[in-house]
Structure 1
């Protein structure tokens, strides 16, 4: 039991850190922990989901506070702000529907940081962010734990399920990034003004 609590503590720390430093594969950490837990203690998956969601929530709060306090200068210095047009589009969507945009931003690879920046720059209230981000983090952790459980149930050895879950997350993330870059490349020529 103490081993499982230690694992959950590490998962919480890794996900919290990864929510602040977006290069850490937090989804893969939750999926791997769920795949491992599925083989050893299936009922502990609920705690894996809770630890992942709590870590994501704490990390998001810290990141949102940094965005609110540091503003665009901090975002540019840390290279979080890369695409002004994308940020403008996210701001428009946030103005229309805050909660659904926060929910979806957690599930789309690379979608969370622009939404947090847009929310901070728009001055979304802390109360709204704190309430809306709870279900977003819970849904995110549940989805990634589900991927881990699927990997863990397919393979007989725990390590095989962990490897399969991590590879699946990385493949999905790369596919979404490739799709976004391809879409932007197609849109870019049509957005440039024609020369006379």
Structure 2
């Protein structure tokens, strides 16, 4: 089996789709692809990072467009922002540090969509969003590809590295989500 253009296009599509509908484990897809690519040709991992980042970027653009279209009514209906206090807090954080907040929100499990929604409600411009989201998507993709490469180098067979990378991503994501929920519950 060779890891080629078809795999990269598939990865791009899965990540773009998962960025809009967050039911697809996009981080695990990037990690698994990186583990597989590392076994065949380590240079391909760079293309995996780029395909993952581009898919995430375009998916985030679509998500941000939907958030801007839905606006504050969507925020209230989805109850992600649970009242004006949370929206105000996110808005204050975004206004003071737009780029770092958007960058970090891409890496925090479950943090991206509420932050995109808050950014759209407070009126973060398209220009700022385009500028801030590019490095966020690249960093996100590189982090998950690194996890995949780690899994791919530990195990001798490609499928073992892919499984290890996916399991590691799922465990880390679940633990990070649990910690985030605990912090919010105590805040």
Where on the TM-score scale, by shorter chain, does this alignment land: which range? over 0.9
Could you list the structure 1 runs, at least 4 aligned residues long, displaced by more than 2 angstroms after superposition: 72-77, 79-89, 180-187
- Provide Cα deviations, 1:102-126, integer angstroms capped at 9, x if missing partner: 1111111111111101110011111
Structure 2 match to 1:42 = 42
Deviations 1:133-177, CA, capped at 9 Å, x for gaps: 111111110111011001100111111111111111111111112
- Number of the residue aligned with 2:101: 101
Specify every segment of 5 or more residues in structure 1 that has no aligned partner in the other structure, as ranges. 188-196
Q: Any unmatched runs of 5+ in structure 2?
A: none
> What residue is the counterpart of 2:53 in the other structure?
53
> Considering only CA atoms, is the larger Rg found in Structure 1 or Structure 2?
1
SS in 1 for 2:179: helix
Partners of 1:80 and 1:15 in 2: how far apart?
Answer: 25
Quote the residue 1:122 is aligned against: 122
Q: TM-score, normalised by structure 2?
A: 0.93
Contact 2:151–2:161 (Cα < 8 Å) also in 1: yes
Instruction: Report the RMSD for the aligned CA atoms in angstroms.
Output: 1.8
The structural deviation recorded for 1:90 is 1.8
- Cα distance in 1 between the residues matched to 2:163 and 2:35: 9
**Equivalent position of 1:29 in the other structure:** 29
Partner of 1:42, secondary structure, is coil
Could you tell me the TM-score, scaled by structure 1's length? 0.89
